[in-house]
């Protein structure tokens, strides 16, 4: 076998976004509300809990009645709905081969349960895809990225109810049919594992309406697994040759010490993270997961055909986000730090971002090798990046800290390719500054392109190229040769 020296020739370099974090125009051209429209911005010094994305029934009632005076930045995004042509032009200037975006489900079916789609919403994405095509940028489309139509929350309490599968399928079939000549790469649910950490974020579920929120979140997950497999089936029927991926927030756990109990704990926590890709890729629930359910007295309502459907329609590729690694300990002691919707013990060997997320480039190589060994399916890094505070100096941002982060991660991805991993592409999260998923801040920036907008939506929205813009352009131009 020939020695592998670098990334394959057709490597999909680019960036990744989500509709609710960029589009804005939340009530324009027939769009309905989505779960993201209820995530409030709370200044750092006023935050009282780890996860401000979860909402209560009281809060929803107050917001809906118009008596609540909060700021909801995802309603405004960065106005991509009106600026997509100039933004995509900038992506093309960087040489993007691929652009990950989601379709905002409630732009197509405003309530989620409507019988017919909203033509204005469909037409918007027609034009986005046309613009991408004019620059030979391949769209990579997520069907559901933390933006469940709010109508489904009101009528069914989101994915708790099995009927949502039918509504999702109507939506999936509509967009597969409409965009069959435009989109080859699809994925169903962004970071499907988040539904069990933040049910409102992952499934439009208001937990205080449930008797047993934990058990119900696993039932809702089952509905999403079935919906995902059915969507894979329909995709193949409607667009032969298209590919479906799953999407996992990969949370790699290292043992805190070499104490065997810590090693075991890390393995167990890792298994519970990989359970989601096990089901998507292998098409069955693993035994360790069935034991977890039994230990927690959770009995899933699984219909006759469900397990067959999971088995028959696994995904084609495994896509995942990677931002950090975590530590597992069998004792609860130790200093903790924040993470992507999950806290961790502090790793003394790693630095952390301004938000406490531990920076671990080598962990990416570890993760890639493990996923490849486990599934032997092509892998796709569809999110990776550094959220940081940027300062504009003389009309630009000198973001060498971002360049360092990305460079170190891409170097490790390249080493994994040299290890023999089959990697389809690398998509940096937030190639243009966007609204933060977890805190709804604008000041947590990931982009190569700066957007002049503050946490309250003030600013000219002008786009500026940061230093990382030309750096990434060069990486793509040389296919990662010069790192």
Site residues (vs ligand BG6, CB under 6 A): 18, 21, 190-191, 249, 321, 340, 383, 387, 429, 436-438, 444
* CB of 99 closer than 8 Å to CB of 430: no
Nearer to ligand BG6, 187 or 249 (CB): 249
Q: Which is nearer to ligand BG6, 266 or 386 (CB)?
A: 386
DSSP 31-67: PPPBGGGG-----GGG--SS-TT---HHHHHHHHHT-
- Nearest to ligand BG6 of 118, 384 (CB atom): 384
Alpha helices in 333-458 (DSSP H): 361-375, 400-419
| CA distance linking residue 436 with residue 324, whole number of Å | 17
**Sign of the dihedral defined by the CA atoms of residues 77, 148, 107, 309, in that order:** positive
Question: 262 vs 433, which CB is nearer to ligand BG6?
Answer: 433
Asked if 189 contacts 223 with a C-beta cutoff of 8 angstroms, the reply is no
Catalytic annotation present for 86: no
* Least CB distance to ligand BG6 at residue 458 (A): 20
Nearer to ligand BG6, 117 or 202 (CB): 202
CB of 41 to ligand BG6, least distance (A): 12
116, 162 contact by CB (below 8 A)? no
Closest distance between ligand BG6 and the C-beta of residue 477, in Å? 27
What is the rounded CA–CA span in Å between residue 102 and residue 105? 9
Distance of alpha carbon 60 from alpha carbon 56, whole angstroms: 6
Q: Rounded distance, CA 234 to CA 237, Å?
A: 5
CA dihedral (155, 108, 197, 287) positive or negative: positive
Strand spans (E) along 8-137: 12-16, 98-102
User: Catalytic one among 23, 54, 138, 383?
Assistant: 383
CB of 368 to ligand BG6, least distance (A): 18
Give the list of residues 6+ apart from residue 342 with CB closer than 8 angstroms, or none.
197, 251, 326
CB of 441 to ligand BG6, least distance (A): 8
Considering beta carbons, is residue 138 or 383 the nearer one to ligand BG6?
383
Give the residue with the Cβ less far from ligand BG6, 316 or 383. 383
**Nearest distance from C-beta of residue 448 to ligand BG6, angstroms:** 15
Residue with tokens 């929350």: 153
Tell me the closest approach of the beta carbon of residue 395 to ligand BG6, in angstroms. 25
Q: 432 - beta bridge partners?
A: 449
3-state secondary structure 144-157: ECCCCEHHHHHHHC
Residues annotated as catalytic (active site), given as ranges: 383
């Amino acid at each position: 076998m020939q020695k592998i020296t670098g990334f394959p020739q057709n490597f999909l370099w680019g960036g990744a976004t989500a509709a609710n974090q960029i589009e804005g125009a939340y009530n324009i051209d027939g769009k309905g509300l989505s779960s993201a429209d209820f995530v409030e911005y709370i200044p750092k010094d006023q935050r009282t809990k780890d996860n401000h994305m979860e909402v209560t029934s009281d809060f929803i009632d107050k917001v809906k009645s118009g008596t609540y005076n909060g700021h909801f930045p995802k309603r405004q995004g960065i106005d991509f709905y009106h600026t997509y042509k100039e933004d995509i032009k900038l992506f093309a200037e960087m040489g993007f081969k691929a652009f990950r975006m989601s379709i905002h489900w409630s732009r197509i079916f405003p309530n989620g349960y409507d019988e017919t789609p909203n033509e204005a919403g469909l037409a918007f994405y027609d034009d986005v895809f046309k613009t991408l095509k004019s620059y030979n940028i391949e769209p990579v489309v997520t069907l559901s990225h933390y933006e469940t139509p709010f109508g489904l929350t009101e009528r069914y309490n989101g994915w708790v109810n099995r009927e949502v599968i039918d509504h999702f399928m109507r939506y999936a079939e509509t967009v597969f049919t409409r965009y069959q000549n435009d989109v080859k790469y699809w994925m169903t649910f962004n970071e499907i594992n988040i539904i069990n950490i933040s049910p409102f974020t992952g499934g439009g579920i208001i937990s205080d309406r449930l008797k047993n929120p934990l058990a119900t979140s696993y039932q809702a997950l089952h509905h999403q697994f079935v919906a995902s497999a059915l969507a894979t089936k329909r995709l193949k029927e409607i667009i032969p040759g298209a590919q479906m991926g799953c999407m996992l927030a990969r949370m790699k756990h290292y043992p805190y010490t070499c104490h065997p109990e810590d090693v075991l704990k890390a393995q167990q926590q890792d298994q519970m993270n990989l359970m989601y890709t096990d089901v998507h890729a292998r098409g069955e629930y693993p035994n360790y997961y069935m034991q977890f359910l039994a230990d927690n007295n959770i009995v899933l309502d699984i219909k006759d055909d469900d397990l067959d459907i999971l088995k028959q329609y696994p995904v084609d590729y495994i896509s995942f986000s990677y931002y950090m690694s975590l530590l597992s300990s069998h004792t609860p002691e130790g200093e903790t730090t924040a993470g992507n919707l999950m806290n961790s013990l502090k790793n003394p060997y790693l630095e952390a971002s301004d938000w406490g997320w531990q920076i671990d480039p080598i962990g990416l190589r570890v993760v890639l090798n493990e996923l490849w060994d486990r599934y032997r399916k092509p892998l796709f890094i569809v999110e990776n990046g550094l959220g940081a505070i940027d300062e504009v100096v003389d009309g630009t941002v000198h973001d060498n800290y971002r360049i360092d982060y990305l460079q170190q991660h891409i170097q490790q991805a390249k080493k994994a390719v040299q290890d023999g991993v089959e990697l389809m592409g690398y998509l940096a999260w937030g190639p243009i500054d966007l609204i933060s998923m977890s805190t709804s801040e604008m000041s947590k920036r990931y982009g190569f392109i700066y957007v002049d907008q503050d946490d309250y939506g003030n600013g000219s929205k002008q786009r500026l190229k940061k230093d990382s813009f030309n750096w990434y352009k060069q990486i793509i131009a040389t296919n990662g040769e010069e790192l």
